[in-house]
Amino acid sequence: MNTNHLSSTRNHLELTTIYEVSKILSSSLDLRKTLHDVLNMLSTNLQMLRGMVSLLQDSGNLQVVAASGLSQKELERGHFRPGEGVTGKILQGGSPVVIPNVAEEPLFLNRTGGRDSLEGESISFIGVPIKTGRKVMGVLSIDRIRKNGEVVNFGADVRFLSMIANLVGQTVKLHQIVAAEREELIQEKHRLQKELQGKYSLDNVIGQSKRMQEVFAEVHQAAPGRSTILLRGESGTGKEVIAHAIHYLSARKDAPFIKLNCAALTENLLESELFGHEKGAFTGAAQERKGRFELAHGGTLFLDEIGEISPSFQAKLLRVLQEREFERVGGNRTLRVDVRLVTATNRNLEEAVAKGEFRADLYYRINVVSIFLPPLRERREDIPVLVNHFLQKFNRENQRKLTISPEGMQIMMHCYWPGNVRELENCVERTATMTRSTMIRDLDLPCQKNQCFSSALWISQGEKKVIPIISQATIPSSSPAAEERATPPPAVTSEPNFDIPRERLIWAMEQCGWVQAKAARLLSLTSRQIGYALKKYQIEMKRW
């Protein structure tokens, strides 16, 4: 009766342990943590002294990946070749091994150094293979303390540990499959990123940043269709170059690409340029002339600064876009054209519509697909690539071998660039032209000599509020670029009064690497005056 009771108790304990182990194995994707928790469970329920899970590595050797009752150093020493020691024999033979007393077994290596016989007791070793099907993936082993003369049912231990090992084997196999799929996905992601980087790159457009890669992807998506495209962004962000790319990525690439800047012409000239005119239509019209719509037939017409056209001409343009037909100035013959329209603006058209300055129906007609071009300050990681590109272009055209110092590049990286890429190109060309050595250094840059042309674009409104003259509403507030719009730097003053605002002083110091002499030159002050200002505002000097 007592024996049956003990047997029943053991069976109940084993079932409970198997249930708890199965829950642990399915609780996490962290294999090492999971296996360690399993060993802790076995230690609690089976009076286990220590336990190890060794798994087969790509090298063909066994490595202990989880252990209970061993230190980290002991764990790291746990590695075996197939056939080496008892653990290696289990891997090689695929059969369980029981050693009643490890001190009496010559094959037992005790490589971890964690097994020492205890007085009056011996350490028993039980190891079973971890399998999936017929393939041996590792070894599960435990040590148990056995009092001398104690009778232990090792067969029951082997049977129980084999069931645990089967559960572990299934989990390890699942983790290997997940790891392999994850690695395959990572490689596929890298391959696609490399492929997309090559695919979503446009000739004459430099941009490795995430923002520009998104623009390239949108261009590739929209270009093959027939929809009208509106390019949004500040002046100098490259809208015309993107318009060229849209044309050459479309089915119309072999047809004409015609462009016109709407802001450069009066309403009468704009009408003549777009629709053409008949001979004698007005003074100076000595002969018939085709307009841009006719010249772009079958191709693409790019209208830059579309937000600058007058309300009366907007109505005329709307009719052409709706009906795809028009009459030349001074003519009565209706002409039909097949033109893909791409427009661009740096204005906030939504605000213009709300104020009645831009027709809502024309807005919806041209704003079928919108592509936002980020300002340069929101993709600063592209600045070094752009600087080197413009410098190489200058070197080719002028037979020079100029480079730029890291300090010079750092200053360019931290400039605000209200004129965006166009201003950056002008700055590189201007600096390269005026540099006598073979390297552009930080002191060669115009901003370090208080000669930055873009400073003319900034005005001070009040002592602590500085805003740019250029429009701050070039794109709608809901666009991604608007959400990340940077705060413009304070303007540089040329006034003799050195009692400058605190934020302007900090900006100048940051621009000059916290070198007072450079900041003084930038602000047209003396070193003594800037020292006084720093002391007045209690500005702590930074060391770079």
Q: What is the pLDDT of residue 490?
A: 42
Q: What is the pLDDT of residue 459?
A: 36
Enumerate residues 6+ apart whose C-beta is below 8 A from 116: none
Residue 25 burial (CB < 10 Å; 0-12/13-18/19+)? buried
DSSP 329: B
Residue 326 φ/ψ, nearest 5 degrees: -165, 170
Q: What is the pLDDT of residue 374?
A: 93
Enumerate residues 6+ apart whose C-beta is below 8 A from 95: 129
Enumerate residues 6+ apart whose C-beta is below 8 A from 262: 270, 303, 304, 305, 306, 308, 309
For 394-410, letters b (16+ CB in 10 Å) and e give beeeeeeebebeeebbe
Enumerate residues 6+ apart whose C-beta is below 8 A from 200: 213, 216, 217, 219, 220
Mind listing the domains of the chain with CATH numbers?
A: 2-178 (3.30.450.40), 224-373 (3.40.50.300), 377-484 (1.10.8.60), 492-544 (1.10.10.60)
* Residue 312, SS3 per DSSP: helix
Q: What is the pLDDT of residue 142?
A: 87
Q: What is the pLDDT of residue 456?
A: 52
DSSP 83: T
* Tens-level pLDDT at each residue, the chain (544 residues): 456 665 677 777 778 888 888 888 888 878 888 888 888 888 877 667 788 898 988 888 888 888 887 777 777 777 788 888 888 888 888 899 888 887 777 766 665 555 554 555 778 888 999 988 888 999 998 888 876 666 677 888 888 888 988 999 888 888 888 888 888 888 887 776 565 554 444 656 788 888 998 999 999 999 999 999 999 999 989 899 999 999 989 999 899 999 999 988 888 888 888 988 888 777 777 788 888 999 999 999 999 999 999 988 999 899 888 888 888 888 888 889 999 999 999 999 999 999 999 999 999 999 999 999 999 989 999 999 999 999 999 999 999 999 999 999 998 988 888 889 999 999 999 999 999 889 998 888 888 877 776 655 543 333 333 333 333 333 333 343 333 334 444 433 333 345 677 777 887 887 777 888 888 877 778 888 888 888 888 888 766 5
The CA dihedral of 500, 501, 503, 506, to the nearest 10 degrees, is 30
Is residue 86 within 8 A of residue 143, CB to CB? The reply is no
Enumerate residues 6+ apart whose C-beta is below 8 A from 107: 85, 86, 89
Is residue 501 within 8 A of residue 539, CB to CB? The reply is no
DSSP 452: -
Residue keyed to tokens 């007592």: 2
User: Identity (one letter) of the amino acid at 396?
Assistant: R
Residues 454 and 431: their CA atoms lie apart, in Å, by 14
Pairing mode, if any, of strands 340-345 and 229-232?
A: parallel
Q: What's the full length of the chain, in residues?
A: 544
Proportion of the chain in helix, strand, coil states, percent, rounded to 5: 50, 15, 35
E runs forming strands in 313-385 = 325-327, 334-336, 340-345, 369-372
Residues 313 and 271: their CA atoms lie apart, in Å, by 8
Enumerate residues 6+ apart whose C-beta is below 8 A from 4: none
